[in-house]
Copies of this chain bind each other. A is one copy, B any other.
């Protein structure tokens, strides 16, 4: 998506350790108008007929997923990282490794809100190692719902998450795939 790639070129920064900072418009300060454009792009790309929910994981994916859910006229579901005592039994669970927190994390989702009758679009802001998204796919599988696809804003194409999800058969659509990021700037897959 040209709009997003231009924005990454204009405002993205690269920190040591291949950390890509796009927190001025994507995941700390969030440009809501840009989120709407990305949501429209997902709505156009995927066959969203009959979709019953958009699914993401807390925290930074919630903004984009909320706007996408509203765009599709369906509820937003977000899996939580287990630590609260506010969630009783009846949960789908998936164990993932969080590279951000450097430890195993359990994603949880109340069974009440997802079942075999559902058709789900997964949305997230960022895809690198793909652990969080793998966890969401597992939760969808546990629920018996149909996964129609996965929309991601920024994929780090030089990390393995995207390839693994595509091999697994997930219809993954990333609006910007960064192949390389260094002091010379950003190189995107497909050359755009």
Q: Which residues of A contact B (CB under 8 A)?
A: 15, 19, 21, 23-25, 28-33, 35-36, 53, 58-60, 62-63, 66-67, 69-70, 73-78, 80, 83-88, 100-101, 109-110, 112-113
Contact = CB atoms under 8 A, between A and B. Distances in A.
Nearest to A103: B83
A35 B129 CA distance: 32
A84 B63 contact: no
Nearest to A32: B70
Contacts of A100: 83-86
A87 B67 CA distance: 25
B69 A112 contact: no
A58 to B, nearest CB: 4
A73 B32 CA distance: 8
A86 B29 contact: no
A60 B63 contact: no
Given A70-B35, A84-B101, A23 B75 contact: no
